[in-house]
Structure 1
Amino acid sequence: MSKIIVFGASGQLGACLKVVSEKQNISDINFLPEEQANILDVAGLEAIFKSETPAYCINCAAYTAVDKAEDEVDLARRINRDGAENLATLCKQFNATLIHISTDFVFEGNLARPLTELDEARPINVYGLTKLEGEHAIESILNKYYILRTSWLYSEFGNNFVKTMMRLGAEKDELRIIADQIGTPTYAIDLAHYIFHIIENDNAQYGLYHYSNEGVCSWYDFAKAIFDIADIKVNTLPIRGVEYVTKAIRPGFSVMDKSKVKGTFGLEIPYWRDSLVECVGKLKSQN
């Protein structure tokens, strides 16, 4: 496999890429955490590209604090837009392919059907807006790119909904979970497998793709599944999103259509609950 660099390697997806790369015996890969490779440091990035001469760059670095982004607009924009632009510029200069991770939060969430890559992106929060600006920056600079929109990412690494629910479920007698925001949980290990599948496939079908696990659920359904699989007894009540006030508005429906990615790469995508069983099993074995 060609030389690969992973930016933002200390995050959740970076950790999953490392696990999968070790299982697949991918050796020509360099995992760079933010302290080693800040995507806003153009001079530092250029030195890395000169030294490594990668064929592929995977950008996992992002500002992902959805509510804080409403107050830290400039910081979110620098990381999510300017950082993506910096990597695209250097990938073009050094003839590398960029694999960039984006989000279902680019959508308004007012269409009750799976969203395709051709549907209009109209973000309703700062996080989604800055991620969309990052997509546009890449598209305006680079031809050799894969932008991968994903949703509701979780794993046994980092901070995520699954780990939070398992902790709160063990601590609380009752939890109130939003039941009117609909999407698809995505196991980051599955996404990591897909990213390496793209690289191995090497079919140069560049562009924008949607990837999440198969299926549909609400946050309430997701939480109930976590508790069921983990055998956690906690009273779980469904509530409306308006009852749980947050700084940032979330899309009401952000289920993504995966027809393009399955057709292009011949990919079989796991059902969300099947992958959740795998993740919860790993988390329980760690404890």
Structure 2
Amino acid sequence: MSVRVLQFGTTGQLAREVIRQAPDHDVALTALSRAEADLADPDKAARRVAEHRPDVVVLAAAYTAVDQAETETLLARRVNAEAPGAIARACASCGAALVHVSTDYVFDGAKGAPYLPNDPTGPLNTYGLTKLEGERKVLDACPRALVVRTSWVVSAHGRNFVKTMLRLAAEGRPLNVVDDQFGRPTSAADLAGFVLSQARRLADAPAGDPAFGLHHFANAGETSWRGFAEGIFDLAYGDRAPAVGAIATADRPAPAARPARGTLDTSATEAVFGVTPRPWREALAEIVAELQNQTEASPA
């Protein structure tokens, strides 16, 4: 029998990729929109778990407006911390496993090396603080919870760095990109594929299985935002790629501070799940190709 998966979220990058790929996996997916389960109402969202009684819950919705979270603290905490905690309690009550997606922003970026799952945390902004609080609430409430931290998520849909860079280049804007923040870009499609590929194991595994707890998933390879932009333009334009100037974080101040090097170490995830994330440039090539195909297919 197919694994019954209940997903919170339908429009985000990861949510859309899970919906798109679900037919390729042995899962029966129900995806709840914000209208059906608004995380701003944690108790109502949690009731959806009891109503559906799934085998696995995927929490693919969150408050992700990093700078805006500095002024919308209460809403960010309700969505990123209180709702995941309530959903985790509901999962524990009905016996469902839970996949909760978190972020590299739980770290301060000062380690000087990639972060392991159990390294000390130290968020620099409200978004990271609320996501860390959500992690703790989830793990405290549900013994069969997998918290997956990821970073720099991109895809051919939604708002993301790849689409922003290509838009700015098409508009002929000057291209100056931060070159002193480092991380691992992640394809939403690859993250969705990982989650779906583990649905059966998560549904069947008992509490204490190494599949549960904190894990990291990101495509292989570290780069700066400027290096990421150069990779995008190289794939999109080849020899005609525009030049990308380097600027420092201090030259582009933002309401929320970012970690200088929030790079995630995925070695534990690779060992436990038997997966090997592919290089970010390989995943990026598929995203750029999909965006170019969309442009060619659009009516003039």
Structure 2 length as normaliser, TM-score? 0.92
Q: What's the offset of the Cα at 1:142?
A: 1.2
Aligned ranges for residues 194-273 of structure 1 at < 5 Å?
Answer: 194-202=194-202, 203=205, 204-205=209-210, 206-231=212-237, 233-273=241-281
Counterpart of 1:19? 20
| Cα separation, partners in 2 of 1:180 and 1:28, compared to 1, 3 Å | same
Counterpart of 2:10? 9
| Cα separation, partners in 2 of 1:238 and 1:151, compared to 1, 3 Å | same
Moved more, 163-172 or 37-46: 37-46
Measured in 2, the distance between the counterparts of 1:67 and 1:46 equals 27
Measured in 2, the distance between the counterparts of 1:39 and 1:63 equals 9
Aligned ranges for residues 98-247 of structure 1 at < 5 Å?
Answer: 98-202=98-202, 203=205, 204-205=209-210, 206-231=212-237, 233-247=241-255
Letter of the structure 2 residue corresponding to residue 176 of structure 1: N
Over aligned residues, Cα RMSD in angstroms? 1.4
| Cα separation, partners in 2 of 1:41 and 1:254, compared to 1, 3 Å | same
Letter of the structure 2 residue corresponding to residue 224 of structure 1: E
Measured in 1, the distance between the counterparts of 2:25 and 2:133 equals 35
2:43, 2:83 within 8 Å by CA — same for their partners in 1? no
Counterpart of 1:67? 67
1:284 aligns with 2:285: no
Letter of the structure 2 residue corresponding to residue 235 of structure 1: A
Measured in 2, the distance between the counterparts of 1:137 and 1:45 equals 15
Moved more, 136-145 or 193-202: 193-202
Structure 1 length as normaliser, TM-score? 0.96
Could you list the structure 1 runs, at least 4 aligned residues long, displaced by more than 2 angstroms after superposition.
39-51, 200-205, 232-235
Letter of the structure 2 residue corresponding to residue 184 of structure 1: R
2:215, 2:268 within 8 Å by CA — same for their partners in 1? yes
Measured in 1, the distance between the counterparts of 2:118 and 2:106 equals 12
Q: What's the offset of the Cα at 1:267?
A: 0.4
Measured in 1, the distance between the counterparts of 2:71 and 2:40 equals 20
State the secondary structure of the residue aligned to 1:3. Answer: strand
Q: Could you report, residue by residue, the CA deviation over 1:75-128 in whole angstroms, capped at 9, with x for unpaired residues?
A: 111110101111111111111111000000000001121110121010010000
Q: What's the offset of the Cα at 1:42?
A: 4.7
Aligned ranges for residues 75-114 of structure 1 at < 5 Å?
Answer: 75-114=75-114
| Cα separation, partners in 2 of 1:174 and 1:41, compared to 1, 3 Å | closer
Q: What's the offset of the Cα at 1:223?
A: 0.3
Measured in 1, the distance between the counterparts of 2:42 and 2:177 equals 42
Measured in 2, the distance between the counterparts of 1:25 and 1:252 equals 37
State the secondary structure of the residue aligned to 2:74. Answer: helix
Unmatched 5+ residue regions in structure 1? none
Moved more, 211-220 or 223-232: 223-232
| Cα separation, partners in 2 of 1:278 and 1:184, compared to 1, 3 Å | same
Q: Could you report, residue by residue, the CA deviation over 1:4-40 in whole angstroms, capped at 9, with x for unpaired residues?
A: 0010222111001111113x15451101111111134
| Cα separation, partners in 2 of 1:286 and 1:72, compared to 1, 3 Å | same
Unmatched 5+ residue regions in structure 2? 296-300
Letter of the structure 2 residue corresponding to residue 241 of structure 1: T
Measured in 1, the distance between the counterparts of 2:159 and 2:42 equals 29
Measured in 2, the distance between the counterparts of 1:46 and 1:165 equals 38
Letter of the structure 2 residue corresponding to residue 7 of structure 1: F
Figure out how many residues of one structure are paired with residues of the other and give that number.
286
Measured in 2, the distance between the counterparts of 1:212 and 1:285 equals 25
Q: What's the offset of the Cα at 1:46?
A: 4.9
2:3, 2:27 within 8 Å by CA — same for their partners in 1? no
